[in-house]
Homo-oligomer: A and B are copies of this chain.
Amino acid sequence: MAPRYTRLVESLPASVPFVGPETQERERGRPFAARLGANESVFGPSPGAIAAMERAASEVWMYGDAQSHALRTALAAHHGVTPAHIIVGEGIDGLLGYLVRLLIAPGDAVVTSDGAYPTFNYHVTGFGGVLHKVPYRGDHEDPEALLARAAEVDAKLIYLANPDNPMGSWHDAPTLQRMIAQVPEGALLVLDEAYVELAPEGTAPPVVADDPRVIRMRTFSKGHGLAGARVGYAIAAPDLISAFDKIRNHFGMCRISQAGALAALADQDWLHHVRDEVAQARNRIAAIARDNGLAPLPSATNFVAIDCGRDGAFARRVLAGLLERDVFVRMPFVAPQDRCIRVSAGRPQDLDRLAEALPAALAAARSQGS
C-alpha cells in the first residue's frame, strides 16, 4: 500500500517549475558551451566572498547559526532597519515557500501577473491557494491591475517583481510607493527585488520599517553571484518576520553560505564592477539581437528579453535551435511575452557563442515554420 498522501498533495501535478541546465545536459548527452539561461552571474562573487567560503569550509562540521545573526545584523545596517526586520532563508524560493505557508490555506486567493515567476505559483498551488492572474501591460507587470484584482478577489498575497523576470522591465520607486500605499486591507504585497541591485538608481523604493503592507524579497544569487549558495532574505515588519520562526527549517542555512553572503555584502565595489559588466553584456546582447533583425527589450536586470518578432511557437523554435547549438537560454512561458527568448548576461566569450549560434537558429526556425 502506498503512503496516504494528503488530498492536497494527491491533487498536485508532478511538474517542476524549471528544468535545470545540468538536467538538460544529461538529457542531451553533452554540456552547454554557454550558460546563459538561469540569470546566474558568470562574473562570479566577490573574491572576498570566495575566500570567506574557503575559510568556512573547514569549520563546516558546525551547524550554521540558526539565527544568521552576523548576516542579519550586517543587512540591517545596510538597509537602515534592525535585525528583527530581516529573515534569512534558503534563497528567495525557500522564503516564498515559507511565506505562502504562513498565509495561504486551501482556497485562499493570490494575485500575480500571467507569466510572472513560476516558482511563486508553484508554492501557492502547493498550499492549495487559488491564483488569479492579470496580464502584463506593455511587457510590464501592471500595478493598478494587480491591486484592482486583489481587491476584487480579497487576495491575501499580491506578487510583483521589480525589476520583472522574465521581461527585464521595471517601474520606478514612486510607482512602487503608490502601489504600496494602495494595497487593499488584508492583503500583503510580495515585492520580489531579486534583480534590484542591477537596476538603475531610483528603482527600489525606500525601505519603510514596520510597514505591514509589504514584504521585500532580496537575494545574493544575482548581483552578488552566489546562486549556488542559496541565500535570500526578506525585509518586513518584525511581527511578520517572527512568524517565519513558527515554521521555518531553523538550522537550514549552510554555514559556508552565510559566511560567503556576509563577505559579499561587505564588498560593494565588486557589486559595482558586476553592474558594469552586466551593463556591457546587455549592450552586447542587444547588438547581437539587432544584427539579426530582432528587437531587444530594455532591461534593468542581468538578462535581456529579445523579441523574436513572431509568435510563441516561433520563439520556441529559436530557443530549440540555440539549445541544439549548445547555448543554454530560456524564454517566457506565456503569451504574448513568449514571443521573446531570454538571454542572461555573459562574458564576451559566452556572447560570442550566442552571436555564432543565433543566425543559424533563426534560419532553422524560419525554415521549420509554416
Contacts and interface: CB of A to CB of B under 8 A. Distances in A.
A91 B249 contact: yes
Nearest to A104: B6
A60 B212 contact: no
B5 A243 contact: yes
Contact of A186 (B1, B19, B56, B227): B1
B60 A53 contact: yes
Interface in A209-243: 212, 221, 225-230, 239-240, 242-243
A103 B69 CA distance: 33
8 contacts: A1-B186, A35-B62, A40-B62, A43-B61, A53-B54, A63-B228, A93-B250, A93-B251
Nearest to A254: B254
Interface residues of A, number: 86
B90 A63 contact: no
B62 A252 contact: no
Interface stretch (A7-15, A170-178, A308-316): A7-15
Nearest to A242: B14
A105 B5 CA distance: 9
Residue of A35, A102, A119, A230 most packed against chain B (CB within 10 A):
A230
A22 interface: yes
Interface stretch (A255-263, A290-298, A352-360, A362-370): A255-263
Interface in A1-59: 1-9, 12-14, 16-20, 22-23, 26, 35, 38, 40-45, 50, 53-54, 56-59
A102 B6 CA distance: 6
Interface string A52-79: 0110111111111111010000000000
A245 interface: yes
Interface in A151-183: 156
A246 B9 contact: yes
Given A63-B227, A186-B1, A227-B61, A254 B256 contact: yes
A60 B45 contact: yes
Contact of A257 (B13, B227, B256): B256
A135 interface: no
Contacts of A227: 60-63
Contacts of A23: 65-67, 69
Given A3-B156, A256-B257, A64 B9 contact: no
Nearest to A184: B1
Contacts of A41: 61
Contacts of A247: 9, 12, 126
Nearest to A64: B228
A60 to B, nearest CB: 4
Given A23-B66, A230-B253, A50 B43 contact: no
Contacts of A156: 3-4
B255 A20 contact: no
Given A57-B50, A94-B252, A249-B91, A22 B102 contact: no
B243 A256 contact: no
A188 interface: yes
A8 B128 CA distance: 14
Nearest to A63: B227
B42 A61 contact: yes
Contacts of A12: 246-247
Contacts of A249: 90-91, 93-94, 97
A185 interface: yes
Given A63-B38, A228-B255, A252-B230, A22 B69 contact: yes
